[in-house]
Amino acid sequence: MKIFMRLSVAAALVAALTALSIGAAGSSASTTAASKFTLGIVADTGGLNDHGFNHLAYEGQLEAKAKLGVKIQTLQATSSADYVPYLTKEAEDGDNLVVAVGFDFITALGQVAKEFPKTKFAIIDTPADAIAGKPKNVEGLTFESQQSGYLVGYLSGLVSKAKGYTTISSVGGQDIPSVESYIAGYQAGGKAADPSLKFLNAYSDDFADQAKCETIADNQIGEGSKIVFQVAGGCGLGALQAAKQKGAYGIGVDADQSYLGSYILTSALKKVDVAVEAATASLLKGKFDAGGDIVNSVATGGTGYGVLDAEGKKFAGQLAKVLAEIKSGKIKNIPVTVK
Amino acid sequence: MKLPPSVSRTGRALLVPLTTVVIAFVVAGLVMGLTGTNPFKTYVSIFDGTGLNWLFPWVGGQTRTIASQDLQQTLVATAPLILTGLAVAFAFRAGLFNIGAQGQYTVGSVLAIWVGTSFTHMNPVLHIVASIVAAALIGGAWAALAGWLKAVVGTHEVISTIMLNWIAIWVATYLFQENGPLQGKQALGNPVSNTLPNNVHLPVFWGNPALQGLDVGIFIGLAAAVVFWAIMNRSTLGYEVRAVGHNPDAARGAGINVARNYVVTMAICGAFAGLASSVDVLGWQFQVSTADISGSQVGFLGIAVALLGRNTAIGTVAAALLFGALETGTAADNINASVINPELAPQLTLIIEGLVVLLVSTDLIAVRLLGLPRRLGLGRPEPGADLAQALEPDDAAAQAAAVEGFDAGPATTGL
Amino acid sequence: MTTVTKQPPRVAAPTTKQIGIVAVVLAAIAWVLTLPPIMARTPVPSIVLGVTAAVIGVAVLRDSNHRRLGGVTVAIGLIAIPLAIAMTNQTSANVREVFTWSAVVASGLTFATPLIWAALGGIISERSGVVNVGLEGMMLVGCYFGIFGADVCSSWVLGMLIGMASGGLLGLLHAYFSIHLRANQVVSGVAINLLATGITGYLFVAHYGDNGTPGTLPQVPNVTLPVIDHITFLDDAVGRQTNLLTWVGLLLVPVVWWYLFRTRAGLRLRAIGEQPRAASTVGLKVVATRYGAVVTSGMLAALGGVYLSDGFDGSFNFDMTDGRGFIALAAVIFGKWNPFGALAATILFGFSTALAYRLQTFSQTLGTLFQALPYVLTLIAVAGLIGRSRPPAASGIPYVKE
């Protein structure tokens, strides 16, 4: 019934791992000519067309092909039984970098990486040391998504203050670290801009069925929420639809969702495409974070906010200042868990 | 084309579904041609993707290694499909429509992983057996609930099994979610169970155990098919099941306890589905996440597998192999971006599966093509009430054949 | 058709059935007492009522003719007690928030609407003697082509018609296989579900690519009903923000009932579903009628899909029906192939789904478990109240003309 259940599960423990990755030294491998380099991707069961990070990873792969001139191989798993054989296939085909998209791969990658010590693997949204046996040929591509959450939360706070809103809300797909860190950042940012703001949060336990997220957002708007932040992939589009119909603002997630209409205040970004392309470019130069993580943050351009709507543009200056403060480290220790 | 009379009845019974599958592939090929994909290249590529080219002695070297791995995956996918197929087929034979194999599979995987990750001091062999038995028992109990409701208050099994599916899915999601009672200790906030220790894995006998080689689960599937056949054709229970499937009122009149029969039938179905989950969990999954719970399709595919296999043991095995091969073959090799957009490939798989099942729903096309006499009743899946009228009275042998072959049909499921 | 057994005119001692019904009412009151607008803040009255109902239920159980009624009474009575305790343990603000009736009704209707359409389709098809397991697929093509049509033609009316036509076409396919080729109807239905998933997914990717359906589409509008928006329990949420297709779907329930049970055409349709051979001997067109019924069934199910995509969500996504077609199938059986019965099933299901989401306010962790509520309630209701259901006699059996 849920053939295309868009479940993209991911791990974070980002705060702890930021420190870890700073400590981890990049091991050097020899440089490879781009024309002889193959970038492989295995997408999880959410599918390449998930409007979320499978799709962004695929975009990054296509960009790497266009800009760096590497060859690509894409395999899309239709069930978790495909994970091990597909990773194996790309390793056996001699791909230079095999990217597993998401936490779902954690067990499979642990098995395969051990069998192919010469192949380099990367896993998205997951710290490398979460993998059993901590293999040295795996790097994690993690995201400080609480920063993106903080930024869109801060903007929501500013808009609320200006318009006299008392309540804003978020709809999460599931209580998992990659979702929670967005929401924790959102609440912290909102509170920083408007300390009196009230936050509602609920989970749909679904990443696909829009009707569910729409119902939850409807309930929240009924309780006074004026801005709805969706962190639920395809399901969350329903939350944005509710915002549109009830005259509230919506905030998109992962990719820029401003194309949905003028009611999208902005989007909290997780630029998986940039991360994939950057990891490829590094490896071409012989740089690989063996057993460590490449942490994507506002500093690397991996997190941030998307296109601002007319209302958001009024606060563009203040928002840019906050972004600079996060970058400089003036704003730090943004929470990753919702209290 | 007309078949000579020397072709035996069994031969015909085999030929008809085979011809139908061939027609299905031709039609699917036409669809591919129309959408700008080369069907011949695609089919060759699908065939190679299934690993079935391993069977050809002239395939050697690296190709042979890859073929063996692909074939292992095809068979890994086939094992649970056989079992969920049997879970649906057994019910159909009793005139019950078991849409609930997915739910029975789900509760089975919960218990398989729980038993498998607890009691760690047990003897490994006993531990494996205990996990498998636990999964089969809970699956059987879950399904028997639907059978019991039908027997006692007459609740239609289609309603109860659909509802039980969703109840199983939500309860299992609750168990493994963040702060859920069965969330793993190493889960880092993610909704997954504990990981199965290495000595509780099903032994791999072909391929690399670390790379999801072929485990003994396929033998569990095949053994279950033999058990299915034996119960159905060589036991009183099987006779009763078939009699109830034919006509529950007549069966009741003949002194069969129909109510008890429903409960036992569903329990057996659920046990098959529970076995399927244990084969997956102990064979290659090694842990259960909420994504596995909500993303699994194997129970629903079981419906198509059972129907494709005409609800017989051998047919279900063949259909499961076809589906396992299609899933493996269409996905891995064929996603070469130069042949077809990788985002479209899984959709094409579904279309091909749909066409195969659709064309298999009727034998009339194949029957006409082969020039078989229509009065053989092969176009009719319904062995019930008016079969006798449809057949000519003197054609007793043909009638027997039709009943034998199509005992199959979801006769009195009465939707 | 049921016949009402008349009570003898003399004043008699109440029958077991009457006593049982009174007990069910008592138990229901026990449930409602702690909810708005009464909102008793102590569970005591509910406990007293619940226990009373359960005790009467036990007495009813002893009458072997009313076992089921007794069982239900005991169950409802006993469940009332923990419910009342749970409610009175919550703050009244929380309880008010969850049980904002207008919001519950509004979102209950949104969950019920697609089911109503598909269930009506299922009833018509099965009353004519053709099992329709393909409702899920027919809804799904409605979802896609409704959006596609609205997008391409820039008109929700045309979107609706195109969505309907797509469901009709899939219905025609099912009809051709089930009637003409005498296929196994369950197999054909299962195949149609697989096909619809593949076809809509294929077209969705091929046509809309990466960003999905556009955000600004002409949508089936919500309608304002001037009286309803002033009723306390319904107000704006129902009166102004309920979709056109919801109202039309609700209106169609009595229409389909009237057609099936009060018109000659409906009588013929039912006759064909019960006794095709006999119907044929008196000159009824079995094949044509069944074709018509199955195609109609596809169009109705597709309109449920159009509601889901172009009415409610405003977009399409893979496999977005997510099992709703099967729930509708269950509603058809639950309602004993009667439109009003199916309506009751969809309302029960829709409202409990809506409530399940609101219950998250009480507990985030248990929120997931609450999601099973609609399925548990449906199972209890069907086991306790509905019991045995008999399908149209010829449903599922291919018709062969003699």
Contacts of C260 (CB under 8 A, 6+ apart): C123, C124, C127, C266, C269, C270, C339
Q: What is the pTM of this model?
A: 0.88
- CA–CA dist A186, B89 (Å, integer): 51
For B272, C27, C85, C126, C358, the CA distances from C37, given in Å and listed in that order, are 50, 18, 17, 42, 17
pLDDT tens track for A221-234: 988 999 999 999 88
Helix H segments across B281-363? 290-295, 298-308, 313-332, 345-360
At how many degrees (to 10) do helices B313-332 and A83-92 cross? Answer: 40
- CA–CA dist A49, A79 (Å, integer): 15
CA neighbor of C274 nearest in space, from C389, C125, C393:
C393
Q: Contacts from A238-242 at CB under 8 Å and sequence distance 24+?
A: A238/A209, A238/A210, A238/A211, A238/A212, A238/A213, A238/A214, A238/C313, A239/A171, A239/A213, A239/A214, A240/A264, A241/A210, A241/A214, A241/C312, A241/C313, A241/C314, A241/C315, A242/A213, A242/A214, A242/A215, A242/A217, A242/A218
- pLDDT digit string (tens) for chain B, length 415 residues: 455 555 566 666 677 777 777 887 888 788 777 767 778 877 887 888 888 888 888 888 888 888 898 899 999 999 999 999 999 999 999 999 999 999 999 999 999 999 999 998 889 999 999 999 999 999 999 999 999 999 988 889 999 999 999 999 999 999 999 888 999 887 777 889 999 999 999 999 999 888 899 999 999 999 999 999 999 999 999 999 999 998 889 999 999 999 999 999 999 999 999 999 999 999 999 999 998 998 888 999 999 899 888 899 999 999 999 989 888 887 655 455 666 666 777 787 788 888 888 887 777 677 677 765 544 443 333 333 332 233 222 333 333 333 333 333 333 344 4
CA closest to B294 among chain C residues: C322
Residue A210: what pLDDT? 84
Confidence of residue A102 (pLDDT cuts 50, 70, 90): confident
- Residue C166 in this model has a pLDDT that exceeds 50: yes
- The β-bridge partners of A71 are A38
Whether the CB-CB separation of A250 and A230 falls below 8 Å is answered with: yes
B329: left (phi over 0), alpha (psi -120 to 50) or beta: alpha
Angle of CA points B277, B280, B284, to nearest 5°: 160
Q: Smallest CA–CA separation between B353 and chain A, in Å?
A: 14
Residue B400: what pLDDT? 35
CA neighbor of A271 nearest in space, from A100, A64, A124:
A124
Residue B374: what pLDDT? 47
By the CB < 8 Å criterion, does A78 face chain C?
Answer: no
pLDDT tens track for A235-253: 898 899 899 988 999 999 9
- CA–CA dist C87, C95 (Å, integer): 7
Residue A6: what pLDDT? 36
- The predicted model gives A99-122 an average pLDDT of 92
Q: Cβ A76–B292 below 8 Å, yes or no?
A: no
- To test the contact with chain B by mutation, choose from C202, C275, C336 the residue with the greatest count of B C-beta atoms within 10 A, namely C202
Distance of CA C65 to the CA centre of its chain: 29
By the CB < 8 Å criterion, does A205 face chain B?
Answer: yes
Residue C65: what pLDDT? 78
SS3 A202: strand
**A95 to chain B: which residues are within 8 Å by CB?**
none
DSSP B191: S
Tokens (6 digits) for A272 = 């998986």
- CA–CA dist B237, B84 (Å, integer): 20
Distance of CA C296 to the CA centre of its chain: 18
Q: Which CATH superfamily is domain A14-144+272-296 in?
A: Response regulator (3.40.50.2300)
**A212 to chain C: which residues are within 8 Å by CB?**
357
CA torsion, points C60, C63, C69, C74, in degrees to nearest 10? 40
pLDDT tens track for C325-378: 999 999 999 999 999 999 999 999 999 998 888 888 777 778 888 889 999 988
Residue B80: what pLDDT? 97
- To test the contact with chain C by mutation, choose from B358, B374, B380, B392 the residue with the greatest count of C C-beta atoms within 10 A, namely B358
> Who wins on pLDDT, C219 or B13?
C219
Residue C12: what pLDDT? 66
B36: left (phi over 0), alpha (psi -120 to 50) or beta: left
pLDDT tens track for C35-56: 877 778 888 888 888 899 889 8
Residue C191: what pLDDT? 92
- CA–CA dist B219, B223 (Å, integer): 6
Tokens (6 digits) for C10 = 């003399």
- Chain A / chain C CB contacts < 8 angstroms: 96
Strand A120-124 versus strand A97-100 pairing type: parallel
**B191 to chain A: which residues are within 8 Å by CB?**
9, 174-176
Q: Cβ A241–C315 below 8 Å, yes or no?
A: yes
Tokens (6 digits) for A87 = 């990773």
- The predicted model gives C13-29 an average pLDDT of 83
Give the H or E element holding residue A241. Answer: helix A233-245
- To test the contact with chain A by mutation, choose from C357, C363, C366, C375 the residue with the greatest count of A C-beta atoms within 10 A, namely C357
Residue C335: what pLDDT? 92
Per-domain residue ranges of chain B: 79-309
Tokens (6 digits) for C67 = 């076992």
CA closest to B308 among chain C residues: C187
CA closest to C236 among chain A residues: A222
A145-270+302-328 has the same fold as A14-144+272-296:
yes
Tokens (6 digits) for B224 = 């279950």
**A5 to chain B: which residues are within 8 Å by CB?**
291, 294-295
Whether the CB-CB separation of B296 and A79 falls below 8 Å is answered with: yes
CA closest to B180 among chain C residues: C365
Residue B170: what pLDDT? 95
pLDDT tens track for A145-168: 999 999 999 999 999 999 999 999
Distance of CA B215 to the CA centre of its chain: 18
pLDDT tens track for C82-126: 888 888 888 877 777 777 778 888 889 999 999 999 999 999 999
CA neighbor of C128 nearest in space, from C347, C279, C348:
C279
- Residue A14 in this model has a pLDDT that exceeds 50: no
Residue A9: what pLDDT? 36
Q: Out of C100, C111, C326, name the one closest to residue A222 (CB).
A: C100
Whether the CB-CB separation of B191 and A106 falls below 8 Å is answered with: no
Stretch 171-190 of chain B: residues touching chain C, C-beta under 8 Å: 171, 173-174, 177, 179-180
Residue A30: what pLDDT? 55
Q: Smallest CA–CA separation between A27 and chain B, in Å?
A: 26
At how many degrees (to 10) do helices B313-332 and B217-234 cross? Answer: 150
Per-domain residue ranges of chain A: 14-144+272-296, 145-270+302-328
- CA–CA dist A142, A123 (Å, integer): 8
**C185 to chain B: which residues are within 8 Å by CB?**
361
Angle of CA points C344, C348, C353, to nearest 5°: 150
**B76 to chain A: which residues are within 8 Å by CB?**
81
CA closest to C201 among chain B residues: B347
For A285, C103, C350, the CA distances from C35, given in Å and listed in that order, are 67, 15, 19
User: Does domain A145-270+302-328 correspond to CATH entry 3.40.50.2000?
Assistant: no
Distance of CA B381 to the CA centre of its chain: 19
**B415 to chain C: which residues are within 8 Å by CB?**
126, 131-133, 186, 329, 332-333, 391, 395-396
- CA–CA dist B83, B105 (Å, integer): 10
Q: Cβ A218–C313 below 8 Å, yes or no?
A: no
Tokens (6 digits) for B321 = 């192999």
DSSP result, C92-109: HHHHHHHT-HHHHHHHHH
- CA–CA dist A187, A181 (Å, integer): 10
Give the H or E element holding residue A287. Answer: strand A287-288
Lateral strand order in the sheet of A71-76: A71-76, A38-43, A97-100, A120-124, A138-143, A293-296
- Chain A / chain B CB contacts < 8 angstroms: 127
pLDDT tens track for A286-313: 899 888 899 999 999 999 999 999 999 9
pLDDT tens track for A196-206: 999 999 999 88
- To test the contact with chain A by mutation, choose from B65, B211, B282 the residue with the greatest count of A C-beta atoms within 10 A, namely B211
ipTM of the complex: 0.86
Stretch 343-362 of chain B: residues touching chain C, C-beta under 8 Å: 343-344, 346-358, 360-362
Mean pLDDT of chain A: 87
**C364 to chain A: which residues are within 8 Å by CB?**
175, 202-203
The count of C-alpha atoms lying within 13 angstroms of the C-alpha of A30, restricted to the half-sphere facing its C-beta, is 3
Residue C271: what pLDDT? 93
User: Does domain C101-386 correspond to CATH entry 1.10.3470?
Assistant: yes
**B35 to chain C: which residues are within 8 Å by CB?**
202
DSSP A200: E
- CA–CA dist B167, B160 (Å, integer): 10
**A131 to chain B: which residues are within 8 Å by CB?**
none
Q: How many Cβ atoms from other residues are within 10 Å of residue C285's Cβ? A: 13
Q: Cβ B357–C194 below 8 Å, yes or no?
A: yes
- CA–CA dist A18, A147 (Å, integer): 13
Which of A168-177, A274-283, C373-382, C383-392 shows the lowest mean pLDDT across its residues?
C383-392
Q: Out of A175, A205, A261, name the one closest to residue C371 (CB).
A: A205
Per-domain residue ranges of chain C: 16-95, 101-386
At how many degrees (to 10) do helices B9-34 and B39-50 cross? Answer: 120
Q: Out of C103, C204, C367, name the one closest to residue A222 (CB).
A: C103
